[in-house]
Structure 1
Amino acid sequence: MAEKEITEKDRELAKQCLECKVCNTARKNQRGFAFWFVKWLEGGICPACKAHEKVYGRKAHEPIIE
C-alpha cells in the first residue's frame, strides 16, 4: 500500500495537536481522563490527531521522545 503524501495542511493540523492542552496533558501524564479521552475518542474523531499520527508516525497520546 502506498504511503500518502504529507501536505502542508497535515503539518498545520499536526502543529495544532502539538499545541492542544488536552493532547499535551495526555502525552505528559500518560494516565487520567485526558489520556483516556485522546486515546479512545479523539484519535478517531479529531483531524488534528489524525494529522499528528500521519506526520510524526505516532499516536497523539504517545509521549514525545527527544
Structure 2
Amino acid sequence: MKHGKATTKMASFCKDSCPVCTRAREKGEGFLYEFVKLEEQICPACRSYKKVFGVPAHEKIKKK
C-alpha cells in the first residue's frame, strides 16, 4: 500500500525521533509505554506509524 509523503514523514518521525514513542518502544513497559497506548488515539504521527508499519506506535516493528 502506498502512503502519502506527509504520512510517511510523520511515521518516520514517530519511529526514529519522537522522544516519547522511541523510549516507550525501547523499554516495552512502564509509564511512557502506557502513555503512548493512550496518546496514539490522538497523535497524528502515531496514527501514521500504524498506517505505514502496520503495528501500533507502542509496539516494535516485527522483522520478517
What TM-score bracket applies, with the shorter chain setting the length? 0.7 to 0.9
In the alignment, structure 2 segments of 5+ residues that lack a partner are: none
Report Cα offsets for 1:2-58 as digits up to 9, x if no partner: x7x510110011011011011011101111111000012x11110000000000101
TM-score normalized by the length of structure 1: 0.84
TM-score normalized by the length of structure 2: 0.86
Could you tell me which amino acid in structure 2 is paired with residue 65 of structure 1?
K
Rg larger in structure: 1
Q: Please, what is the CA RMSD of the aligned residues?
A: 1.5
In the alignment, structure 1 segments of 5+ residues that lack a partner are: none
Shift of the alpha carbon at 1:64? Answer: 3.0
Structure 2 match to 1:34:
32
Instruction: Give me the identity figure in percent.
Output: 40
| Higher-helix-fraction structure | 1
